[in-house]
Structures are given as C-alpha cells and as structure tokens.
Amino acid sequence: MHAIILVGGRGTRLQPLTDSRPKPMLPILGAPFLEHQLLYLKGHGVTAVTFACGFLPDEIRSYFGDGERLGLELTYAIEPEPLDTAGAIAFAAREFGLTDRRLLVCNGDVLTDLDVSELIAAHDAHDATATIALTPVEDPTRYGLVRTGDDDEVLAFLEKPTLEEAGVDRYINAGTYVLEPEVFELVPEGARVNIEREVFPKLVGRRLHAIGFDGYWNDIGTFESYRRANADAAAGRIAGIAPSERNARRWVSPDAKVASGADVGAGSVVLAGAVVEDGAELIGSVVLEGAFVGREVFLEDVIVGEGARIEPAQLVAVGDVIGPGVGSTAR
C-alpha cells in the first residue's frame, strides 16, 4: 500500500527547536520521529511513502534518501506554496500519479501505535469512500470531535467544542485516514484546502466512516507533548519503540558522555554527543544532540536544544526550553 505523510508544516509552536529542522525530524530517543513512523507503517504493509513537503524538505530527503535503508520506496512532493492538508495530499498524489488508487494518509507529527491494518480492514468492510481513525482524549476542547452513528458512519463534526457541547463524546480525528480516489475530486488543483474542515464535511452521507482506537496517541506539536513522547518511549509505553534499558524509564545514547556522579532520572533522555557533568540532575528533561549540561545543574521538565550550553551551577527554570546553540560559542 502507498502512504502519504504530511510533513510541510512550519512547527511554530516548537520554535526555536524547529528553526533549523522540520518538526517531524525532531528526535524521539535516538532517531527522528519520522523514522519511527516509517517503520510503524512498514509493519502494517506499507511499501511506498510520499512525503508532502513544505518547510526545509532537504533535511528530510538528505536523511532518508530513496528509502532503501528502511526497505521502503520514498518520494518527495515539494509544495510550491502552502496548500493546507487536503491541498498538500492532492498535490502529492497528482505529482506521482496516485489519484487512481487507494491511499493511506498520516499526519507527520502524530506519534501513535494505532492499528493501521484494522483501519484498512474496517474501510474494506464498509466499502467506504474515506475512513478516519479516531482517538479518545480527556479534553476535547482543543480539537474537533467526530460524531458517528450506526455502523460507524460519520454524522457530524464539532470544532473545538465546550465541555458542555461535547457531552460524553471524547473521540477526535487521530490524523490517519484511508482515502479512495473520488476524494481527490473535491480538491481543485493548486487550491489551498483543509481536509478536516472542507473535505470531510462534504463526505458526510457519502460513505464516510470513522473507527475508534485506544492505542497510544500523541501530537508532538508542543514542548510538553514532545517531552512526554520521549519519556513514554524511554519507558517502553509505545509499541514498536523499544528502549535500551528495560524498566529504567530513561534513555541515554551510547554516544553521550554522562558523568558517573550525574543523575539522569525518570523521563529523561540524553542524545548523542551530549555531555552531562558530575553533580547534574535531570528529571523529565530532554538533552538534544551535542548539548552541554554543566556541574551541579538541576533540570526539571526542561528541553536543551541541539548544541546548547548550560554552564556549571547555572539556574534553569522548571519547564524551560533552551534554544539550539544558546550559550555556545558556536551560536
């Protein structure tokens, strides 16, 4: 099966971490998020993937190339201008002659172990035009709820409802879809079109279905969710991502230098080339590639950007984000 992954966004909520690399290339443990996603899709029978690219596409292409290393066929569709979700999907499909076949579509910023094989099977069983994966959330007010009826047919969409409007419904669009060719007829060539707000509502009553899943799901678009994704991966909570130390609830790259007197605590991740000196203590923090954490530094829920430097005994606020290169003579 062929998949399209949406990787064109600017990732503004994760700036400055995303100033020099696309959001999907941020690492989860020792590999870019996208690498985990590609291996997850391959495990569900996907053999080819087209990236719908926008911001810094060469960062993605130079890392993955043609996909041979991962056993996948990878291609890259680079938007001439931002086309939003449906516009980007249709552009990628037209660019590589894919509009005559069924496609799996995934957001490039959602870390999940939803059962794609089950999603495709449900799509077949309903003879659907499109099928949306749904995931439950505690607070639906940040998202758009999807209301379904008999036989999982989609009845309506409710954008960013109040808790009173949501009622007991808690299932939202999980950012993974199966689309038949007729969906592309709703997207004019070269037009900026949103699939959630403009395409899916037009498909209500036209064999649009949605299937709920209870697997792991995390939109990594905020600092808090990005930290949580690394902590969950380190703790072995995500199917398909195996931490190097079982039950340690932390992850340290073999290419990092962590002093014996440093304490890398639960939920913390230290990536390749990073240095953590004696007496430093990390709780729930992520230290990216080549960063330096000096002696007696205490970090709680902190992200230290690539190549950043925290001097010995420097005070760092809880939940702070240190931008790439900050404090370094190389910045």
Question: What mean pLDDT is predicted for residues 295-310?
Answer: 97
How many separate helices (H) and strands (E) can be counted in the chain?
7, 25
- At CA 118, angle to CA 38 and CA 217, rounded to 5? 55
Give the model's pLDDT for residue 35. Answer: 96
Question: Looking at the predicted structure, is the pLDDT value of residue 19 above 80?
Answer: yes
Q: How far, in Å, are 128, 219, 227, 237 from residue 135 at the CA level?
A: 19, 11, 20, 16
Strands 154-159 and 281-283: unpaired
Give the model's pLDDT for residue 79. 93
- A 10 A CB-CB count for 110 gives 21
**pLDDT tens figures, 237-272:** 888 786 655 546 899 999 999 999 999 999 999 999
Mean pLDDT of 72-77: 98
For 130-149, the DSSP string reads EEEEEEE-S-GGGSEEEEE-
Mean pLDDT of the chain: 92
- pLDDT score recorded for residue 258: 97
Q: Express each pLDDT in 287-297 by its tens digit.
A: 999 999 999 99
Stretch 181-208: mean pLDDT, rounded?
95
* pLDDT one-digit tens code per residue, 35-60: 999 999 999 999 999 999 999 999 99
CB 2 within 8 A of CB 49: yes
Q: How far apart are the first and last CA of the chain?
A: 44
| Structural element, H or E, at residue 322 | strand 321-322
Portion of the chain with pLDDT greater than 90, in percent: 81
Q: Has residue 277 got a pLDDT over 80?
A: yes
Instruction: Walk me through the domains of the chain, giving residue ranges and CATH numbers.
Output: 2-219 (3.90.550.10), 244-322 (2.160.10.10)
pLDDT, residue 245, reads 55
State the sign of the Cα–Cα–Cα–Cα dihedral 62, 28, 11, 98.
Answer: positive
- Per cent of the chain over pLDDT 70 is 94
Structure tokens at 177: 């879809």
Least confident interval from 90-94, 97-101, 212-216, 266-270: 212-216
pLDDT in tens, 78-93: 999 999 999 999 999 9
DSSP structure class, residue 33: H
If you ran DSSP here, which 8-state letter would residue 26 be given?
S
Rounded average pLDDT over 272-299: 97
What pLDDT does residue 331 have? Answer: 37
What's the pLDDT at 330? 43
Confidence of residue 227 (pLDDT cuts 50, 70, 90): very high
DSSP symbols for 258-291: E-TT-EE-TT-EE-TT-EE-TT-EEES-EE-TT-
pLDDT at 328: 66
| pLDDT surpassing 50 at residue 126 | yes
Tell me the whole-structure pTM to 2 decimals.
Answer: 0.92
